[in-house]
Protein backbone atom coordinates (compact mmCIF):
# COMPACT_ATOMS: atom_id res chain seq x y z
CA UNK A 1 0.00 0.00 0.00
CA UNK A 2 1.25 3.48 -0.87
CA UNK A 3 1.01 6.61 1.19
CA UNK A 4 -1.46 9.13 -0.19
CA UNK A 5 -1.99 12.73 0.89
CA UNK A 6 -5.43 13.83 2.07
CA UNK A 7 -6.78 17.36 2.42
CA UNK A 8 -8.78 16.64 5.58
CA UNK A 9 -6.92 15.74 8.79
CA UNK A 10 -10.08 14.24 10.30
CA UNK A 11 -11.25 10.63 10.74
CA UNK A 12 -14.59 11.89 12.08
CA UNK A 13 -15.83 15.47 11.78
CA UNK A 14 -18.33 16.99 14.19
CA UNK A 15 -20.14 20.31 13.79
CA UNK A 16 -21.01 21.42 17.31
CA UNK A 17 -21.77 25.07 18.01
CA UNK A 18 -18.98 26.95 19.75
CA UNK A 19 -20.06 27.35 23.34
CA UNK A 20 -18.93 27.91 26.91
CA UNK A 21 -19.52 31.63 27.34
CA UNK A 22 -17.82 32.76 30.53
CA UNK A 23 -15.70 29.59 30.81
CA UNK A 24 -11.88 29.46 30.39
CA UNK A 25 -12.00 27.77 26.97
CA UNK A 26 -15.14 29.48 25.67
CA UNK A 27 -15.41 29.68 21.88
CA UNK A 28 -12.35 27.46 21.38
CA UNK A 29 -12.49 24.34 19.19
CA UNK A 30 -10.50 21.14 19.76
CA UNK A 31 -9.32 18.52 17.26
CA UNK A 32 -8.80 15.23 19.14
CA UNK A 33 -6.18 12.69 18.11
CA UNK A 34 -7.91 9.39 17.38
CA UNK A 35 -6.31 7.65 20.33
CA UNK A 36 -8.61 9.32 22.86
CA UNK A 37 -11.90 7.61 23.49
CA UNK A 38 -15.11 9.56 22.97
CA UNK A 39 -18.14 7.59 24.14
CA UNK A 40 -20.28 6.32 21.28
CA UNK A 41 -17.62 6.76 18.59
CA UNK A 42 -15.00 4.25 17.40
CA UNK A 43 -11.31 4.76 18.15
CA UNK A 44 -9.22 3.66 15.17
CA UNK A 45 -5.73 4.36 16.60
CA UNK A 46 -4.80 4.91 12.97
CA UNK A 47 -5.41 1.31 11.95
CA UNK A 48 -8.63 -0.29 10.62
CA UNK A 49 -7.76 -3.66 12.16
CA UNK A 50 -7.53 -2.05 15.58
CA UNK A 51 -10.91 -0.43 15.06
CA UNK A 52 -12.61 -3.64 13.89
CA UNK A 53 -11.29 -5.70 16.83
CA UNK A 54 -12.23 -3.28 19.61
CA UNK A 55 -15.65 -2.30 20.89
CA UNK A 56 -16.93 1.25 20.56
CA UNK A 57 -15.93 3.03 23.78
CA UNK A 58 -18.56 3.71 26.40
CA UNK A 59 -16.44 6.15 28.38
CA UNK A 60 -14.83 9.41 27.24
CA UNK A 61 -11.23 10.28 28.05
CA UNK A 62 -11.07 12.47 31.18
CA UNK A 63 -8.87 14.90 29.25
CA UNK A 64 -11.54 15.39 26.58
CA UNK A 65 -14.17 15.73 29.29
CA UNK A 66 -12.11 18.36 31.14
CA UNK A 67 -11.77 20.43 27.97
CA UNK A 68 -15.51 20.22 27.31
CA UNK A 69 -16.37 21.04 30.92
CA UNK A 70 -14.32 24.22 30.59
CA UNK A 71 -16.13 25.43 27.50
CA UNK A 72 -14.24 23.90 24.57
CA UNK A 73 -16.07 22.31 21.63
CA UNK A 74 -14.85 19.06 20.06
CA UNK A 75 -14.86 19.40 16.27
CA UNK A 76 -13.49 16.00 15.30
CA UNK A 77 -11.19 13.03 15.73
CA UNK A 78 -7.98 13.27 13.74
CA UNK A 79 -5.67 10.99 11.81
CA UNK A 80 -2.73 9.52 13.72
CA UNK A 81 0.17 7.36 12.62
CA UNK A 82 -0.64 3.70 13.25
CA UNK A 83 -0.84 3.08 17.01
CA UNK A 84 1.19 6.31 17.33
CA UNK A 85 4.42 4.48 16.46
CA UNK A 86 5.99 7.00 14.07
CA UNK A 87 7.16 10.60 13.93
CA UNK A 88 6.48 11.06 10.21
CA UNK A 89 2.75 11.80 10.14
CA UNK A 90 1.99 9.24 7.42
CA UNK A 91 -0.81 6.68 7.37
CA UNK A 92 -1.30 4.11 4.60
CA UNK A 93 -4.94 3.49 5.57
CA UNK A 94 -6.44 6.93 6.19
CA UNK A 95 -3.95 9.08 4.31
CA UNK A 96 -1.23 11.56 5.17
CA UNK A 97 -2.62 14.96 6.19
CA UNK A 98 -1.20 17.71 3.99
CA UNK A 99 1.20 20.04 5.77
CA UNK A 100 -0.50 23.45 5.33
CA UNK A 101 2.83 25.27 5.46
CA UNK A 102 4.42 23.21 2.69
CA UNK A 103 2.62 20.38 0.90
CA UNK A 104 5.94 18.85 -0.21
CA UNK A 105 7.00 18.17 3.39
CA UNK A 106 5.90 15.65 6.00
CA UNK A 107 3.37 16.93 8.56
CA UNK A 108 5.11 15.13 11.43
CA UNK A 109 3.56 12.58 13.74
CA UNK A 110 2.17 10.83 15.34
CA UNK A 111 -0.24 13.68 16.22
CA UNK A 112 -0.31 14.66 12.56
CA UNK A 113 -4.02 15.28 12.12
CA UNK A 114 -4.33 17.41 15.24
CA UNK A 115 -1.36 19.54 14.18
CA UNK A 116 -2.65 20.03 10.64
CA UNK A 117 -6.15 20.88 11.88
CA UNK A 118 -4.71 23.73 13.96
CA UNK A 119 -2.27 24.88 11.29
CA UNK A 120 -5.02 25.03 8.65
CA UNK A 121 -7.33 26.89 11.04
CA UNK A 122 -10.12 24.32 11.40
CA UNK A 123 -9.39 23.97 15.14
CA UNK A 124 -7.86 26.19 17.82
CA UNK A 125 -6.40 23.38 19.93
CA UNK A 126 -4.87 20.14 18.69
CA UNK A 127 -5.06 17.47 21.39
CA UNK A 128 -2.47 14.74 21.00
CA UNK A 129 0.01 12.49 22.72
CA UNK A 130 3.78 12.51 22.96
CA UNK A 131 5.85 9.41 23.66
CA UNK A 132 8.98 10.04 21.61
CA UNK A 133 8.17 13.48 20.20
CA UNK A 134 4.65 13.29 18.78
CA UNK A 135 3.61 16.75 19.99
CA UNK A 136 6.96 18.52 19.64
CA UNK A 137 7.78 17.26 16.15
CA UNK A 138 4.49 18.09 14.36
CA UNK A 139 4.39 21.43 16.20
CA UNK A 140 7.81 22.20 14.71
CA UNK A 141 6.92 21.05 11.19
CA UNK A 142 3.66 23.04 11.14
CA UNK A 143 4.87 26.26 12.78
CA UNK A 144 2.84 25.80 15.99
CA UNK A 145 3.34 26.08 19.73
CA UNK A 146 3.35 22.65 21.35
CA UNK A 147 3.63 21.42 24.93
CA UNK A 148 4.66 18.00 26.19
CA UNK A 149 3.91 18.24 29.95
CA UNK A 150 5.81 16.43 32.68
CA UNK A 151 5.26 12.70 32.46
CA UNK A 152 2.54 11.35 34.72
CA UNK A 153 0.77 14.63 35.38
CA UNK A 154 -2.20 14.01 33.08
CA UNK A 155 -4.41 10.95 32.91
CA UNK A 156 -3.88 8.50 30.06
CA UNK A 157 -7.00 6.52 30.96
CA UNK A 158 -9.53 5.78 28.24
CA UNK A 159 -7.10 6.23 25.38
CA UNK A 160 -4.90 3.90 23.35
CA UNK A 161 -1.43 3.94 24.88
CA UNK A 162 1.92 3.02 23.34
CA UNK A 163 4.60 2.88 26.05
CA UNK A 164 3.18 3.87 29.47
CA UNK A 165 6.49 4.97 31.03
CA UNK A 166 6.83 7.61 28.31
CA UNK A 167 3.27 8.37 27.11
CA UNK A 168 2.10 11.92 27.82
CA UNK A 169 -0.93 13.95 26.80
CA UNK A 170 -0.06 17.22 25.05
CA UNK A 171 -1.50 19.90 22.81
CA UNK A 172 -0.66 22.36 20.03
CA UNK A 173 -1.96 25.85 19.30
CA UNK A 174 -1.23 28.77 17.00
CA UNK A 175 -0.36 31.07 19.91
CA UNK A 176 1.03 30.85 23.43
CA UNK A 177 -2.01 32.50 25.02
CA UNK A 178 -4.33 29.69 23.94
CA UNK A 179 -1.79 27.04 24.89
CA UNK A 180 -1.53 28.56 28.37
CA UNK A 181 -5.31 28.61 28.76
CA UNK A 182 -5.37 24.87 28.19
CA UNK A 183 -2.53 24.41 30.68
CA UNK A 184 -4.44 26.33 33.34
CA UNK A 185 -7.39 23.99 32.84
CA UNK A 186 -5.50 20.68 32.67
CA UNK A 187 -2.42 21.16 34.85
CA UNK A 188 -4.30 21.95 38.05
CA UNK A 189 -2.33 19.37 40.03
CA UNK A 190 0.90 21.36 39.61
CA UNK A 191 1.88 24.27 41.81
CA UNK A 192 2.32 27.67 40.16
CA UNK A 193 5.51 29.13 41.59
CA UNK A 194 7.01 32.43 40.39
CA UNK A 195 10.26 32.35 38.41
CA UNK A 196 13.31 34.19 39.72
CA UNK A 197 14.35 37.69 38.70
CA UNK A 198 17.48 36.24 37.07
CA UNK A 199 16.91 33.11 35.00
CA UNK A 200 19.74 30.67 34.26
CA UNK A 201 19.51 29.14 30.78
CA UNK A 202 21.43 26.14 29.51
CA UNK A 203 22.33 25.53 25.87
CA UNK A 204 24.51 23.20 23.81
CA UNK A 205 26.82 24.79 21.27
CA UNK A 206 27.40 21.37 19.69
CA UNK A 207 23.72 20.60 19.10
CA UNK A 208 22.94 24.12 17.92
CA UNK A 209 25.76 24.03 15.37
CA UNK A 210 24.51 20.76 13.89
CA UNK A 211 20.98 21.98 13.15
CA UNK A 212 19.56 23.78 10.13
CA UNK A 213 18.18 26.61 12.29
CA UNK A 214 21.64 27.39 13.69
CA UNK A 215 21.70 30.99 12.44
CA UNK A 216 18.29 31.77 13.89
CA UNK A 217 19.21 30.21 17.22
CA UNK A 218 22.45 32.17 17.30
CA UNK A 219 20.45 35.36 16.76
CA UNK A 220 18.27 34.44 19.72
CA UNK A 221 21.34 33.75 21.84
CA UNK A 222 23.05 36.98 20.80
CA UNK A 223 19.91 39.03 21.46
CA UNK A 224 19.14 37.56 24.85
CA UNK A 225 22.71 37.34 26.15
CA UNK A 226 22.66 41.11 26.56
CA UNK A 227 19.68 40.93 28.93
CA UNK A 228 20.57 41.39 32.58
CA UNK A 229 17.73 39.09 33.61
CA UNK A 230 19.28 36.07 31.86
CA UNK A 231 22.52 34.15 32.32
CA UNK A 232 23.62 31.41 29.91
CA UNK A 233 25.43 28.16 30.79
CA UNK A 234 27.09 25.99 28.13
CA UNK A 235 26.12 22.31 28.54
CA UNK A 236 27.81 20.48 25.67
CA UNK A 237 29.66 18.27 28.15
CA UNK A 238 26.32 16.54 28.82
CA UNK A 239 24.10 17.53 25.90
CA UNK A 240 26.20 16.27 22.99
CA UNK A 241 25.37 13.83 20.23
CA UNK A 242 27.79 11.16 21.43
CA UNK A 243 26.03 10.99 24.79
CA UNK A 244 22.54 11.51 23.41
CA UNK A 245 22.88 8.81 20.74
CA UNK A 246 23.46 6.30 23.54
CA UNK A 247 20.51 7.71 25.50
CA UNK A 248 18.29 7.58 22.40
CA UNK A 249 19.29 3.96 21.84
CA UNK A 250 18.28 3.15 25.40
CA UNK A 251 15.03 5.04 24.90
CA UNK A 252 14.19 3.00 21.81
CA UNK A 253 14.86 -0.22 23.72
CA UNK A 254 12.77 0.70 26.76
CA UNK A 255 9.99 2.10 24.60
CA UNK A 256 10.07 -0.95 22.35
CA UNK A 257 9.85 -3.39 25.25
CA UNK A 258 6.82 -1.56 26.62
CA UNK A 259 5.21 -1.36 23.19
CA UNK A 260 5.42 -5.12 22.80
CA UNK A 261 4.11 -5.63 26.33
CA UNK A 262 1.20 -3.32 25.45
CA UNK A 263 0.34 -4.49 21.94
CA UNK A 264 2.25 -7.70 21.24
CA UNK A 265 -0.55 -10.09 22.15
CA UNK A 266 -3.04 -8.23 19.96
CA UNK A 267 -0.59 -8.16 17.04
CA UNK A 268 0.08 -11.89 17.27
CA UNK A 269 -3.63 -12.72 17.51
CA UNK A 270 -4.99 -10.47 14.76
CA UNK A 271 -2.02 -10.06 12.38
CA UNK A 272 -2.93 -6.46 11.50
CA UNK A 273 -1.78 -4.73 8.33
CA UNK A 274 0.84 -2.05 9.06
CA UNK A 275 2.97 0.19 6.88
CA UNK A 276 6.30 -1.53 6.19
CA UNK A 277 8.39 0.72 8.43
CA UNK A 278 5.97 0.44 11.35
CA UNK A 279 5.66 -3.33 10.91
CA UNK A 280 9.46 -3.60 10.99
CA UNK A 281 9.60 -1.64 14.25
CA UNK A 282 6.96 -3.84 15.88
CA UNK A 283 8.90 -6.92 14.78
CA UNK A 284 12.06 -5.43 16.32
CA UNK A 285 10.16 -4.81 19.57
CA UNK A 286 9.28 -8.52 19.68
CA UNK A 287 12.96 -9.46 19.94
CA UNK A 288 14.09 -7.15 22.75
CA UNK A 289 15.69 -9.22 25.52
CA UNK A 290 15.63 -8.72 29.32
CA UNK A 291 19.39 -8.12 29.22
CA UNK A 292 18.92 -5.29 26.71
CA UNK A 293 16.20 -3.78 28.90
CA UNK A 294 18.44 -3.93 31.96
CA UNK A 295 21.28 -2.21 30.11
CA UNK A 296 18.89 0.46 28.86
CA UNK A 297 17.52 1.06 32.35
CA UNK A 298 21.07 1.58 33.63
CA UNK A 299 21.68 4.20 30.93
CA UNK A 300 18.38 5.90 31.80
CA UNK A 301 19.28 6.00 35.50
CA UNK A 302 22.67 7.54 34.73
CA UNK A 303 21.11 10.09 32.38
CA UNK A 304 18.54 11.14 34.96
CA UNK A 305 21.40 11.76 37.38
CA UNK A 306 23.10 13.93 34.76
CA UNK A 307 19.87 15.85 34.19
CA UNK A 308 19.48 16.44 37.92
CA UNK A 309 22.95 18.00 37.91
CA UNK A 310 22.03 20.12 34.88
CA UNK A 311 19.00 21.56 36.64
CA UNK A 312 21.08 22.35 39.69
CA UNK A 313 23.02 24.71 37.40
CA UNK A 314 20.18 26.10 35.25
CA UNK A 315 16.45 26.82 35.43
CA UNK A 316 15.67 25.93 31.81
CA UNK A 317 17.43 24.43 28.80
CA UNK A 318 17.02 25.98 25.32
CA UNK A 319 17.65 23.67 22.36
CA UNK A 320 16.51 23.13 18.77
CA UNK A 321 13.40 20.94 18.74
CA UNK A 322 14.30 19.07 15.55
CA UNK A 323 17.37 18.95 13.27
CA UNK A 324 15.64 21.42 10.95
CA UNK A 325 12.64 21.63 8.66
CA UNK A 326 10.33 18.69 8.05
CA UNK A 327 11.73 16.00 5.73
CA UNK A 328 10.39 15.81 2.19
CA UNK A 329 7.40 13.57 1.54
CA UNK A 330 9.42 11.67 -1.06
CA UNK A 331 12.56 11.18 1.06
CA UNK A 332 13.79 7.61 0.64
CA UNK A 333 13.36 5.11 3.46
CA UNK A 334 17.07 4.84 4.33
CA UNK A 335 17.54 8.60 4.69
CA UNK A 336 14.28 8.90 6.63
CA UNK A 337 15.45 6.19 9.07
CA UNK A 338 18.76 8.02 9.59
CA UNK A 339 16.91 11.28 10.16
CA UNK A 340 14.63 9.56 12.69
CA UNK A 341 17.64 8.43 14.72
CA UNK A 342 19.07 11.96 14.82
CA UNK A 343 15.65 13.33 15.73
CA UNK A 344 15.27 10.87 18.61
CA UNK A 345 18.67 11.96 19.93
CA UNK A 346 17.08 15.38 20.47
CA UNK A 347 13.60 14.38 21.65
CA UNK A 348 14.85 11.69 24.05
CA UNK A 349 16.06 14.28 26.60
CA UNK A 350 12.58 15.11 27.86
CA UNK A 351 11.31 11.60 27.17
CA UNK A 352 13.90 9.72 29.21
CA UNK A 353 13.74 12.14 32.16
CA UNK A 354 9.98 12.82 32.07
CA UNK A 355 10.50 16.58 31.63
CA UNK A 356 8.14 19.24 30.29
CA UNK A 357 9.16 20.66 26.92
CA UNK A 358 7.62 23.58 25.02
CA UNK A 359 8.18 24.11 21.30
CA UNK A 360 8.34 27.72 20.09
CA UNK A 361 8.14 28.39 16.34
CA UNK A 362 10.81 30.57 14.75
CA UNK A 363 9.15 32.66 12.08
CA UNK A 364 12.04 32.75 9.66
CA UNK A 365 10.79 30.84 6.63
CA UNK A 366 7.02 30.77 6.11
CA UNK A 367 7.06 27.57 4.07
CA UNK A 368 9.75 25.67 6.02
CA UNK A 369 8.91 26.14 9.72
CA UNK A 370 11.25 25.01 12.45
CA UNK A 371 11.96 26.26 15.93
CA UNK A 372 13.42 25.91 19.38
CA UNK A 373 12.36 24.32 22.63
CA UNK A 374 12.51 25.28 26.25
CA UNK A 375 12.86 22.30 28.60
CA UNK A 376 12.03 22.68 32.27
CA UNK A 377 12.67 20.65 35.40
CA UNK A 378 10.08 17.98 36.11
CA UNK A 379 6.77 19.37 37.39
CA UNK A 380 7.87 22.96 36.62
CA UNK A 381 5.39 23.16 33.74
CA UNK A 382 3.73 26.40 34.85
CA UNK A 383 7.09 28.07 35.42
CA UNK A 384 8.13 26.92 31.93
CA UNK A 385 5.10 28.58 30.36
CA UNK A 386 5.53 31.75 32.40
CA UNK A 387 9.16 32.05 31.35
CA UNK A 388 8.27 31.38 27.71
CA UNK A 389 6.14 34.54 27.68
CA UNK A 390 9.10 36.55 28.95
CA UNK A 391 11.51 34.84 26.58
CA UNK A 392 9.36 35.62 23.54
CA UNK A 393 9.21 39.28 24.58
CA UNK A 394 13.01 39.38 24.90
CA UNK A 395 13.45 37.80 21.46
Residues noted as catalytic: 33, 110, 134
3-state class percentages of the chain: helix first, strand second, coil last, to nearest 5: 40, 15, 45
Burial 192-231 (b: 16+ CB within 10 A, else e): eeebeeebebbbbebbbebbebeebbeebbeebeeeeebe
CA geometry: angle at 101 spanning 185 and 123, to 5°? Answer: 30
Q: What are the residues whose beta carbons fall under 8 Å from the beta carbon of 297, sequence distance 6 or more?
A: 250, 254
294-301: which pairs have CB atoms within 8 A and are 24 or more residues apart?
295/250, 295/253, 296/249, 296/250, 296/251, 296/253, 296/254, 296/257, 297/250, 297/254, 299/246, 299/247, 299/249, 299/250, 300/247, 300/250, 300/251, 300/254, 300/352
CA distance 125 to 133: 18
Backbone angles phi, psi at 114, to 5 degrees: -65, -40
Element (H, E) at 279: helix 276-286
Backbone angles phi, psi at 384, to 5 degrees: -60, -45
* CA end-to-end distance (rounded Å), the chain: 46
**Helix/strand/coil (H, E, C) string of 28-57?**
CEEEEECCECCCCCCCCCCCHHHHHCCCCC
CA distance 357 to 350: 7
Are 323 and 245 a contacting pair, CB within 8 Å?
no
Amino acid sequence: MQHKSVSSPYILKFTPPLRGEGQPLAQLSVAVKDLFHIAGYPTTAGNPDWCSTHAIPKTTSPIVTALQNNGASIVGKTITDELAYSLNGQNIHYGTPINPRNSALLPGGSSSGSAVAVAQGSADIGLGTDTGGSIRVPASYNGLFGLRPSHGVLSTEHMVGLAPSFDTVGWMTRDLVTLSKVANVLLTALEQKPIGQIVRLGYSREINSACAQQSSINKVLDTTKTKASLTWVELSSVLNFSNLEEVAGAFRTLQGAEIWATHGQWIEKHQPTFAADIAARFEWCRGITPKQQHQALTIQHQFKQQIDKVFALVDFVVLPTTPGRAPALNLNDADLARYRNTLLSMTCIAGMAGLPQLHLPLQEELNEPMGISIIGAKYHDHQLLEFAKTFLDLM
